[in-house]
């Protein structure tokens, strides 16, 4: 590569990054995320400078700490903003990489810039990358580091200076702190160096520059043993990075059960899975255009072809054999590389169109025709933008904050709140670790994933996870089965409004349970509802309801009581909604009916009482809203009453106000 970037290229890269950041900011998760499995841990760890789950992500932690110093929003919002900013930086860098690699004979500079802009924008607003640029996660920052590594390597290619190779090696080593799988790109980098200038192998200064640069970058993993004492996750503690073996197990040896989890005979199906994920990002036509781009790259930039295809194949080979429920995010570096292939294909096709146009019009190539092609090309990005905007919007993801803001208001003084442990417990841990919220409330899973009965003895017990009976939470976030007596009842007293666009998210329901020795008023003999209904739905009758208050602040809660009569022992699920938007779903009796029938008394043909508080999402606008319930599987919707929602303060202001309250209960 022999050409420097022109000023207009830096301007376009900044413009593309700015546009991407604008949309990421508008669709950003406001604070903690209900939709991200481990995002709340990654929003907290940078603030406390602790150790994240395997493989530790030191660089991500340090960069996140810098973003926590921003003077607006809450801490989680600021870390979310890091994903948006670095994701946007990755988009701008992608444009520069493409522009640096495009061959001048392919098409005019206008067409080059149009094709590079389109490919960068398609990647920016692809559904998976967009989803990661609006939450606290490692994948968008990692793309920025991958892009910066490639740019540094291309810069060394142009200068051949040892100090520039040192810079490349340093950035490459640092990039493992956003995702350690980047180490897999090393063979492709080595091949590219040999194809570029194998004489460097004879220079001791070149070797020294590379070794020292990479070692300095990789030295970040010395953070792991220094911060191992902050771990509170059962699985992470089993592989605590306090020895050389432990450091290996925590980094390169992490999650061995996920790696190479498929047989050779299954690999064709795994390739199909990858191709589906690829077309989900860019559309089916992207396969053809990308293949054209690969051919053009081989023909015009063979050395760079081996670099990029080598990176691509190693990454694909590893992750098609990786078993993870969120597999799509692991392929983001491969999608980034495919966007480069797409750009070459787009420019190759547009270049041919540019050359054909004069033959059709009978004239010479003109600036107006080039600009027309460029404008039409760039405008195609609007298809990706508009098509993915609604599905990528996370600005409504307020469930965790709304729920816990009400939890902290409701819990009595000196109580104990049982939550999931480890990575999944940071929904609650965040508030105490970052804001010292309600320090009188004990979170037994915060200091250790294995709390004991002695830790909670003498305190009123509440939980946000199932800790009793056959349905108790198991797995990495599960608490010890003997933490509390098994004969306690889990009585729901508050349900959160789950984030979603029309259905309940599969992550789980947000419920605050009171642990009690007696089943409080689960079944009564006579119903006296203030809103009589007496609606018969086969074997289940809704006798009536109580709602108080009828005027509630968004993000706050109202008290709902439902009176049911069950004639036959069948399971039912009840869905509550505001103006048709599902808020929460629960099993009739919140899963306690069968036990009540066995231990207390009959439930059939008596009044089943569901008495709990329900959170009104802070995204609900001011005005009057229809409160409805329905039985899942039945078309009939029952209108209970109209609820007036007032917006007395911004959601962020409410969260921060509650987070900053004194440690005494209200």
* 369-399 tens-digit pLDDT: 777 777 887 788 788 788 889 889 999 999 9
What mean pLDDT do residues 513-532 have?
90
* 592-609 tens-digit pLDDT: 888 888 888 888 889 999
DSSP code string of 67-96: HTT-SSS-HHHHHHHHHHHHHHHHHHHHHH
Is the pLDDT at 366 greater than 70, yes or no? no
Shared domain for 315 and 456, answered yes or no, is no
Shared domain for 42 and 84, answered yes or no, is yes
Helix ranges restricted to H, 220-326: 223-227, 234-238, 244-250, 267-282, 285-300, 302-319
Confidence of residue 663 (pLDDT cuts 50, 70, 90): very low
Task: Confirm whether 259 is domain-assigned.
Answer: no
C-alpha span between 3 and 158 (Å, rounded): 8
Least confident among 109-113, 121-125, 270-274: 109-113
Is the pLDDT at 69 greater than 80, yes or no? yes
**Residue 83 vs residue 636, higher pLDDT:** 83
Within 13 Å, how many C-alpha atoms sit on residue 24's CB side? 35
Could you tell me the two tokens for 650? 């911004």
Confidence of residue 665 (pLDDT cuts 50, 70, 90): very low
Task: Confirm whether 238 is domain-assigned.
Answer: no
Residues 6+ apart with CB under 8 A from 646: 551, 552, 553, 554, 622
Shared domain for 189 and 294, answered yes or no, is yes
pLDDT, residue 471, reads: 75
Q: Which residue has the tokens 């520069």?
A: 96
Domain boundary (379, 410, 432) is at 379
CA angle (333, 280, 390) in 5-degree steps:
105
Q: Which of 347, 384, 390, 302 is nearest to 91 (CA)?
A: 384
Confidence of residue 90 (pLDDT cuts 50, 70, 90): very high
Shared domain for 88 and 221, answered yes or no, is yes
Helix ranges restricted to H, 126-250: 127-132, 139-159, 162-175, 186-197, 204-218, 223-227, 234-238, 244-250
What mean pLDDT do residues 439-446 have?
94
Shared domain for 417 and 510, answered yes or no, is yes
Shared domain for 271 and 131, answered yes or no, is yes
DSSP code string of 372-407: HHHHHHHHTHHHHHHHHHHHH--TT--HHHHHHHHH
Residues 6+ apart with CB under 8 A from 447: 232
Confirm if 170 and 213 have CB atoms less than 8 A apart.
Answer: yes
Confidence of residue 2 (pLDDT cuts 50, 70, 90): very low
Confidence of residue 290 (pLDDT cuts 50, 70, 90): very high
Task: Confirm whether 393 is domain-assigned.
Answer: no
Considering the chain, what percentage of its residues have pLDDT values greater than 70? Answer: 95
Shared domain for 435 and 331, answered yes or no, is no
What mean pLDDT do residues 567-587 have?
89
Could you tell me the two tokens for 623? 């005005």
Shared domain for 334 and 437, answered yes or no, is no
Most confident region among 104-108, 521-525, 609-613 by mean pLDDT: 609-613
Q: Quick one: which H or E segment has residue 11?
A: helix 7-26
Is the pLDDT at 204 greater than 80, yes or no? yes
Q: What's the structural domain count of the chain? A: 2
C-alpha span between 222 and 237 (Å, rounded): 17
Pairing of strands 489-495, 540-548: unpaired
Domain boundary (379, 411, 435) is at 379
Confidence of residue 74 (pLDDT cuts 50, 70, 90): very high
Is the pLDDT at 358 greater than 70, yes or no? no
Least confident among 175-179, 248-252, 594-598: 594-598
pLDDT, residue 416, reads: 95
What mean pLDDT do residues 204-224 have?
97
What mean pLDDT do residues 10-20 have?
96
Q: Which of 123, 132, 133 is nearest to 385 (CA)?
A: 123
Is the pLDDT at 648 greater than 80, yes or no? no
Confirm if 443 and 456 have CB atoms less than 8 A apart.
Answer: no
Is the pLDDT at 359 greater than 70, yes or no? no
Q: How big is the chain, counted in residues?
A: 666
Domain boundary (348, 379, 410) is at 379
> How far does the chain reach from its first CA to its final CA, in angstroms?
66
Q: What is the mean pLDDT of the chain?
A: 90
Task: Confirm whether 496 is domain-assigned.
Answer: yes
pLDDT, residue 76, reads: 97
* 473-503 tens-digit pLDDT: 777 778 888 888 888 999 999 999 876 544 4
CA 586 and chain centroid, separation: 25
Q: Which of 285, 343, 301 is nearest to 112 (CA)?
A: 343
**Residue 202 vs residue 633, higher pLDDT:** 202
Shared domain for 437 and 513, answered yes or no, is yes
Shared domain for 302 and 412, answered yes or no, is no
Confirm if 584 and 562 have CB atoms less than 8 A apart.
Answer: no
CA 486 and chain centroid, separation: 35
Task: Confirm whether 317 is domain-assigned.
Answer: yes
Pairing of strands 623-631, 573-578: antiparallel
| Secondary structure in 3-state letters for 485-541 | CCCCEEEEEEECCCCCCCCCCCCCCCEEEEEECCCCCCEECCCCCCEEEEEEECCEE
Is the pLDDT at 559 greater than 90, yes or no? yes
For 197, the domain range is: 7-230+266-379
Task: Confirm whether 249 is domain-assigned.
Answer: no
pLDDT, residue 104, reads: 86
Confidence of residue 364 (pLDDT cuts 50, 70, 90): low
Shared domain for 344 and 411, answered yes or no, is no
Confidence of residue 282 (pLDDT cuts 50, 70, 90): very high
Q: Within the chain, what is the greatest distance between any pair of CA atoms? A: 92
Confidence of residue 504 (pLDDT cuts 50, 70, 90): very low
The domain that holds 544 is classified in CATH as 2.60.40.770
Shared domain for 520 and 446, answered yes or no, is yes
pLDDT, residue 498, reads: 74
Least confident among 72-86, 241-255, 286-300, 529-543: 529-543
Considering the chain, what percentage of its residues have pLDDT values greater than 90? Answer: 67
C-alpha span between 391 and 383 (Å, rounded): 14
Task: Confirm whether 149 is domain-assigned.
Answer: yes
Task: Confirm whether 390 is domain-assigned.
Answer: no
Least confident among 295-299, 421-425, 506-510, 629-633: 506-510
């Amino acid at each position: 590569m022999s050409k420097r970037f022109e000023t207009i290229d830096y301007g376009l890269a900044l413009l593309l990054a700015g546009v991407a950041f604008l949309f990421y900011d508008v669709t950003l998760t406001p604070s903690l995320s209900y939709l991200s499995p481990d995002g709340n841990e990654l929003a907290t760890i940078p603030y406390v400078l602790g150790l994240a789950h395997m493989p530790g992500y030191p660089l991500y932690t340090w960069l996140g700490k810098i973003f926590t110093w921003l003077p607006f929003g809450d801490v989680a919002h600021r870390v979310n903003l890091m994903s948006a900013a670095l994701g946007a930086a990755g988009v701008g860098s992608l444009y520069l990489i493409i522009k640096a690699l495009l061959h001048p004979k392919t098409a005019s500079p206008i067409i080059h810039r149009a094709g590079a802009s389109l490919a960068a924008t398609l990647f920016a607003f692809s559904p998976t990358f967009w989803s990661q640029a609006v939450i606290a996660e490692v994948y968008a920052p990692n793309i920025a580091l991958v892009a910066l590594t490639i740019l540094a390597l291309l810069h060394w290619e142009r200068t051949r200076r040892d100090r520039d190779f040192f810079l490349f090696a340093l950035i490459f080593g640092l990039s493992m702190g956003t995702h350690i799988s980047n180490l897999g790109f090393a063979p492709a980098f080595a091949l590219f160096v040999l194809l570029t200038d194998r004489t460097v192998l004879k220079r001791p200064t070149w070797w020294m520059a590379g070794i020292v640069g990479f070692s300095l970058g990789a030295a970040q993993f010395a953070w792991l043993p220094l911060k191992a004492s902050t771990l509170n996750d059962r699985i992470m503690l089993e592989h605590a990075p306090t020895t050389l073996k432990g450091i290996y197990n925590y980094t390169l040896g992490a999650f061995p059960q996920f790696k190479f989890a498929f047989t050779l005979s299954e690999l064709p199906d795994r390739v199909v899975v990858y191709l589906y994920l690829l077309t989900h990002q860019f559309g089916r036509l992207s396969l053809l255009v990308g293949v054209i781009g690969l051919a053009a790259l081989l023909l015009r930039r063979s050395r760079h072809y081996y670099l990029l295809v080598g990176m691509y194949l190693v990454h694909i080979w590893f992750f098609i054999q990786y078993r993870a429920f969120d597999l799509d995010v692991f392929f983001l570096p491969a999608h980034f590389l495919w966007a480069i292939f797409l750009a070459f294909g787009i420019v190759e096709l547009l270049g041919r169109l540019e050359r054909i146009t004069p033959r059709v019009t009978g004239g010479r190539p003109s600036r107006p025709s080039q600009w027309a092609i460029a404008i039409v090309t760039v405008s195609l990005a609007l298809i990706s933008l508009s098509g993915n905007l609604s599905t990528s919007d996370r600005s409504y993801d307020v469930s965790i904050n709304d729920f816990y803001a009400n939890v902290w208001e409701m819990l009595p003084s000196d109580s104990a709140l049982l939550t999931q442990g480890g990575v999944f417990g940071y929904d609650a841990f965040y508030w105490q670790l970052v804001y010292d919220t309600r320090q009188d409330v004990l979170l037994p899973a915060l200091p250790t994933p294995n709390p004991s009965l002695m830790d909670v003895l003498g305190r009123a017990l509440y939980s946000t996870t199932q800790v009793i009976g056959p349905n108790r939470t198991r797995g990495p976030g599960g608490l010890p089965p003997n933490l509390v007596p098994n004969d306690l009842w889990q009585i729901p007293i508050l349900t959160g409004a789950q984030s979603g666009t029309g259905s309940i998210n599969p992550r789980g329901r947000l419920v605050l349970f009171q642990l009690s020795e007696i089943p409080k008023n689960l079944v009564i003999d006579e119903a006296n509802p203030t809103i009589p209904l007496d609606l018969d739905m086969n074997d289940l009758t809704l006798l009536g309801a109580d709602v108080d208050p009828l005027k509630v602040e968004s993000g706050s809660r109202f008290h709902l009581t439902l009176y049911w009569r069950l004639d036959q022992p069948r399971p039912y699920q009840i869905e509550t909604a505001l103006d048709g938007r599902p808020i929460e779903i629960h099993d009739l009796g919140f899963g306690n009916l069968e036990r009540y029938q066995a231990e207390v008394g009959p439930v059939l043909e008596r009044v089943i009482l569901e008495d709990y508080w329900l959170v009104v999402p802070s995204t609900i606008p001011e005005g009057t809203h229809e409160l409805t319930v329905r039985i899942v599987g039945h078309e009939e919707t029952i209108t209970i009453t109209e609820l007036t929602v007032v917006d007395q303060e911004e959601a962020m202001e409410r969260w921060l106000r509650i987070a900053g309250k004194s440690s005494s209960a209200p």
